[in-house]
Amino acid sequence: MLVFPQLVTGASTLYPLKKRHTVHTVVNELGDGQKVVYEDTGAGTVEWELHLTGMTRAEADAIDALFESVAGQWGMFTFLDPAGNLFAQSVDPSNTVWTNGPEIQFTPGVADPFGGTSAVRAGNAGQADQNVAQLLSVPGSYQYCISVWARTPGNSIASLFGQTTGASATTYLAIDGTWRFFELPLNLGQATDNVTFGVTLGSGALVELYGMQVEAQPAASDYKPTGAESGVYPNARFASDTFTIKAQSTDVYDAVLKIMAAEN
């Protein structure tokens, strides 16, 4: 898997970060002079401008190696949005993009921690642990953080996890009747091309969940709800056939990169 490299800190970029969405609008002018205007869905693009200041030689070399391997703009690679949620359909864990246990039952429209009704109640009607999980096409060697808001109306057991072939990480959630925020930073250190992230519910558990999120960084940030789109862009490209890495001093390098991709 060709993927944009992380920095040694586990982050994908440094700030400032610029992200721009571009849409294609189609205008159809009729014979009587009227105009019909609509969005050309599927033709939108996303562009990021990364300001990478103070990189080490190893970090600069990793980006340069990717640039050479894809021949600049020509080849595609996977880019994990530094400002995005890697989960798709984060607001609807009953969607088919999730690989949930067969005994998991959902009730949508539950009051969330911020006064809305975007939380869901997940119940495990089975006799064994069941997962609310999603398989992501991301490298198993990167730093991630999975996070969620959770509470339970009763005595329930739940945990956050991430797993890939050869490694897994788990943290148990100290849940009660109050909304609490939980996160699990993890680096599974495996040369794999996918990782499963999610919540495990114990037998008979009834847990309310809000803000399911995975990010390619060491700690959680504010929740970014997603629909069909996600922060995983497998069709990203460099936006130019050239870029410059400047050596500021010994083992200190700067670069500004533009990356673009079709919207998911």
CA separation (Å) from 241 to 5, 20, 75, 166, 238? 18, 20, 11, 38, 7
Options 3.40.1350.10, 2.60.120.260, 1.10.150.120, 3.30.379.10; which CATH number does 104-215 get?
A: 2.60.120.260
What tokens appear for 107 in the block? 């009730």
| Segments making up each domain of the chain, as ranges | 17-83+232-262, 104-215
Contact between 148 and 213 under an 8 Å Cβ cutoff? The reply is yes
Q: What is the pLDDT along the chain (264 residues), one digit of tens a residue?
A: 899 999 999 988 888 899 998 877 777 887 777 777 767 666 689 999 999 999 999 999 999 999 999 999 999 999 999 999 999 999 999 999 999 999 999 999 999 999 999 999 999 999 999 999 999 999 999 999 999 999 999 899 999 999 999 999 999 999 999 999 999 999 999 999 999 999 999 999 999 999 999 999 999 999 999 999 999 999 999 999 998 999 998 889 999 999 999 987
CA–CA separation, 188 and 89 (whole Å): 24
Question: What region does 211 belong to: left with phi over 0, alpha with psi -120 to 50, or beta?
Answer: left
Using alpha carbons, select from 154, 169, 232 the residue that is nearest to residue 200.
Answer: 169
Exposed, middle or buried: residue 226 (CB in 10 Å: 0-12, 13-18, 19+)?
Answer: buried
Written as six digits, the tokens of 112 are: 């969330």
